[in-house]
Structure 1
Amino acid sequence: MTYTKFSQLIERAAQRIQKTRCAVVSPEDGHTMAAVVRAGRERLIEPILIGDEARITELLAEYGCEKSAVTIYHEPDQKAAVQKAIDLIHAGQADCIMKGLIKTAQFMHAILKRENDLRTENLVSMLSIRELPHYHKLIAFTDAGICMNPTLDEKRQIIENAVRTMTAMGYENIKVGVLASVEVVNPRMKDSVEAAELKRMNQEGIITGCTVEGPISYDVAINKEAAQIKGFGGEVAGDADLLVFPELTSANLTTKAITQTCRIPVGSLILGTKVPVILSSRASSAETKYMCIALAAAVNTGDND
């Protein structure tokens, strides 16, 4: 399946019989609560709110949500709140974890702490999905938030994380473009060399569940006319589902430029963990936080239908 609109992913999540139980750490801010209440009303999730109960109750009333519609654990200490969320995951009482009004460093320290056993064998990475105004379907980016200068093998893991998650969302035949500033291999440009290696891994069956093209430039990956003018063939050109950046700086600059210039929200998830982790900024809009929740709810929705 290919999604042309974010609403299609949301519809998929809403059709799930067993709703995703989302443990929200320190949800004592308006944007987080607005997103959680909306996702709960739309039957995307069953909210589990872990934080200061008095403040949570105030915000629920402000957003017109009955206290009985959510589960609340009173834990005003943020360190203890994130640990409670992790404990709920291990007890089988929660399916994903969301960051609220807690600093990223403190939140991720607990998530990645070896003793908490949320890591998988793969690298931890981030997947972002956007609905661009002039692209014919949803487009995914990785990694724009975690891996600074990934090695070739780490790029393989980043692709595998994204493909596994997108497949769980219902994607088929995922078309992956490994980005570089050129479309041909240049031995002096490591990014182009590694992109070609990732394509080879895909052709040899090392990377599966997708079609990998690289090196490929951004314009060729998303614009069929540009691909034709440059004489670039293949099924990924002009029709990419997932774009893989060479390193964090280019990824961060590109995705922020798109977000700010187009004024569009973005859905993101942390991958490489045993459950989806929602890591939106404390300053993110309610719409962006809602879209992140929708992505988490869309993962593995077929399992309980």
Structure 2
Amino acid sequence: MTANTVSTGTAVPRARRRIPVRTPHQAARAKGSRLRGGRLAAVPWALPALALVGVLLVYPFFRSVYGSVFEDNGFTSSYTGLDNYARLADDPIFGRSLLNTVMWVAGTLLLPVVAGLLIAVATHRTRWGPAAQLVIVLPFAISGAATAVLWRFMLTSDGAVNQVLRGVGLDSWAQSWLLEWPQNTISMIVASTWQATGLNVVLFAIGLRAIPRETVEAAQLDGATGWRMFRFITLPQLRAMTVVVVGMAIVNSLKAFDMIWILTQGGPSRSSETLALTMYREAFRLFHVGYGSAIALVLSVIVVASSWIYLRRQMPSATAR
């Protein structure tokens, strides 16, 4: 027999190990210390990203805010307060640039987004769909500068578009596409649509493949086909992807630059400039740094406000689905 048995042969259980009991206050303190330790452990990993954002985004923004209250020509600088912002209201070039920017936003939402959606739906689950989508996506692989050079060759007075129109007997349709407003802005929006539609097709095609097949089959059993299928099944299921596509289209149209610069350089007489191009010309070509900073700040506010308002209105309903 061992020391834990008695003469009757009955085993005596060993003493159980006592587990210390924490009070609720002690448990909360221990949990808080663990959370703080986890958060502090993540700080060194986040510092490089925060530093990069600070250098590339935060500092330039506040530097523009500071520069917008000065008149700076690159050599001398003097404090002017809000004079640069007051000048915006009286500047006809700024007004035309703002109008062109609105046209770019409307055109980018109307043409590439709608065209991308229709093409993606038309080529979805068809035998020739992947090949057609590949052809449409190819222009997106071309840089914006190369796209602008190509369309400049087509849209000049003796370019390919006018030559084709004259060749088929439509001489009255031939015109100077890039020399008069507003057709120069509309022509550049069409050129941008040719390139941007491919990305929208890809994104909408991904959204279509994510629609559950059971949902489509149930709708077909209920008699939904054609327009009814698109209106009540396909379009609601693509709500989340539409939010992404439209958000990207708004931001890209507000900062449109390379296409306009190569095709018209904002001309003639600065009639086709957008806010991004006007900011560049004032700050880096005419050396009105303070006035250019004010335009840049206005553009930044428009981009952030429009994106925030749109996402705030759309994301709750999109995530709820």
With normalisation by structure 1, the TM-score equals 0.25
Which has the higher Rg, Structure 1 or Structure 2?
A: 2
Task: Give the number of the structure whose residues are more often helix, by fraction.
Answer: 2
With normalisation by structure 2, the TM-score equals 0.24
